[in-house]
Structure 1
Amino acid sequence: MAQRRGRTPRLGVGGTLWVTADGENLGSHARMALLQAVVEQGSITQAAKAFGMSYKAAWDAVDAMNRLAGEALVERRPGGRGGGSTQLTEHGRRVLERYAQVEQAHQRFVELLAREAFDLTQEFSLLKVLNVRTTARNQFLGTVSALRSGAVHDEVELTLPGGMRLAAIVTRESTEALGLRVRAPAIAMVQAGHVILATGVPTLRVSARNQIPGTVLQLQPGAVNTEVLLEVDGGGRLVAMVTPAAVQDLGLAPGVRATALVKASDVVLAVTI
């Protein structure tokens, strides 16, 4: 007897953030919540009760964190009628505060990833997950495949998933600030207005380093310019803005072969942080 197929479950993702110290697990949400309880209760005994755990388990966790962190996160202060108190050190407060900030960013990323990652009807786009928003119409995620250093400027070659390569010219300072290196991921951005289209001249010689062949997919006329969508050979799409006169002169129409020309200096590189 064939098994009855039920409703297809909605796929999603989840994730837990933890802090490491030289590769060892310093603490995840539970331990950081314990530190917050120490702040609020003023003692490990009361923090353990509020947290629903034994004093020994709470103290063992605090002792492990103090040892792994290199300097104490929690300290005991004797004195007073109540017999002293337990509180976070300055280092402990900074760690707890930074964890809260990173945890907020982590949760935001997981939410974005869950929203986009398992829609199996759409291609996966890390740029959408990262919520990259710029005025550049063309955004490509790729990997640095070559890096040629110069006296002032560096030439960075980016290889995209479909095999297309883009060259970018950036300053030496930008290379260092972005941490660009071979095999590192990077995002290339090109404004549509910086894309020049050419047709009918396969042996064209120009100074533009990036010459990207493709086929016109569609045209969207505007009041001043026409938006041309190019299906790039090997995969991917690219948008160019040209004048109505250029559309007529070049004979641009869906199905027409065209080459997109982009100067290396017009390619802007970015990395995720």
Structure 2
Amino acid sequence: MGRRTGGGVSVAATLSLRRADKAFLGGDRIGLLEAIDRFGSITRAAREVGVSYKTAWDAVDSMNNAAEIPLVERAAGGLGGGGTVLTDEGRETIRLYRVLQDEHQEFIKRLEGRLGDVGHFYSLLRRVAMRVSARNVFLGKVAELRKGTVSTEVTLALKGGGTVCSVITNESAGVLGLKTGMEAHAIFKASAVILGKDLHDAKVSARNLLCGTADRIAHGPVNAEVTVVLPGGSVLTAIITEESAKRLLLAKGDHVCALVKASSVILGVDA
């Protein structure tokens, strides 16, 4: 149940009746009951709702076992069993379920009205829920595409004004369907980040220079983990050697710059 909204996204939910924390009656079984009432035959009802004869009987047995009063009565007979009918309790159950369903649909409509842009909310949930092993995942918009013979150079504009450049194969760019203005994720490992101070005028081969403020520094026997707050509020994480951290004299509040090769940046888009 649900309505389609902008961006092809809809709010949907299923309605089921539960007993002892176990669902025993939902839309599929209500459809089966209605078919039994209409045809008076479990065989025809099963065919109507697209399940096997055995599955239909298993569902009927389950509903009858869960209900205080049987919903379906069946007469003895051969395969297909003649005279299968709903009891008054079964018909009342259908009526009550449809009333609940109508109210449920109205609730979904009201919920969509209050949520507003469901597509935007859905996109946010996907970004928050996305799980990848790389520590750095930044959302941006494709600002520029430069296609070469083998590879495509993609520049993403990040919130806060920075950019991230990635070099991927032309085939990958085609699979992702990259176009200027569309949203994409820049993903790179913390170990792919090189940290330094006062690198604005340095001549380096790495395409990406992301500068911000050192926030947290976790020292270890071999490596140190450094988080850097970028303009716009995004947080970058770097793993460097403990020796390098000491040599840089890193402290909370320091202005630092992160270098990341374009070849180390993986791009992803929402499905």
TM-score normalised according to structure 1 size: 0.57
Alignment-derived partner of residue 140 in structure 1: 138
Alignment-derived partner of residue 165 in structure 1: 163
Distance apart, 1:226 and its partner CA:
0.3
Structure 1 counterpart of 2:179, from 178, 181, 189 = 181
| 1:205-216 equivalence runs, <5 A | 205-216=203-214
Structure 2 counterpart of 1:250, from 232, 248, 251 = 248
1:154 and 2:139 correspond: no
Tell me which amino acid in the other structure corresponds to 2:249.
G
1:225 and 2:210 correspond: no
Distance apart, 1:251 and its partner CA:
2.1
- Which secondary structure does the structure 2 equivalent of 1:206 belong to? coil
Alignment-derived partner of residue 50 in structure 1: none
Higher mean C-alpha deviation, range 259-268 or range 196-205: 196-205
Q: Is the 8 A contact 1:18 1:29 kept in 2?
A: no
TM-score normalised according to structure 2 size: 0.57
- Which secondary structure does the structure 2 equivalent of 1:87 belong to? helix
Alignment-derived partner of residue 200 in structure 2: 202
- Which secondary structure does the structure 2 equivalent of 1:214 belong to? strand
| Cα root mean square deviation, aligned | 3.6
| 1:113-132 equivalence runs, <5 A | 126=124, 130-132=128-130
Runs of at least 4 residues of structure 1 off by over 3 A?
A: 16-20, 27-30, 33-38, 127-130
Matches of 1:231 and 1:241 in 2, distance apart? 15
Q: Is the 8 A contact 1:189 1:269 kept in 2?
A: yes
Distance apart, 1:220 and its partner CA:
0.5
Alignment-derived partner of residue 260 in structure 2: 262
Matches of 1:28 and 1:240 in 2, distance apart? 41
Change (3 A) 1:81 1:36: closer
Matches of 1:196 and 1:235 in 2, distance apart? 20
Tell me which amino acid in the other structure corresponds to 1:250.
L
- Which secondary structure does the structure 1 equivalent of 2:2 belong to? coil
Q: Is the 8 A contact 2:161 2:231 kept in 1?
A: no
| Identity within the alignment, % | 36
Matches of 1:161 and 1:219 in 2, distance apart? 24
Distance apart, 1:268 and its partner CA:
1.0
5+ residue gaps in structure 1?
1-15, 48-77, 91-109, 111-116, 118-124
Higher mean C-alpha deviation, range 258-267 or range 243-252: 243-252
Alignment-derived partner of residue 48 in structure 2: 87
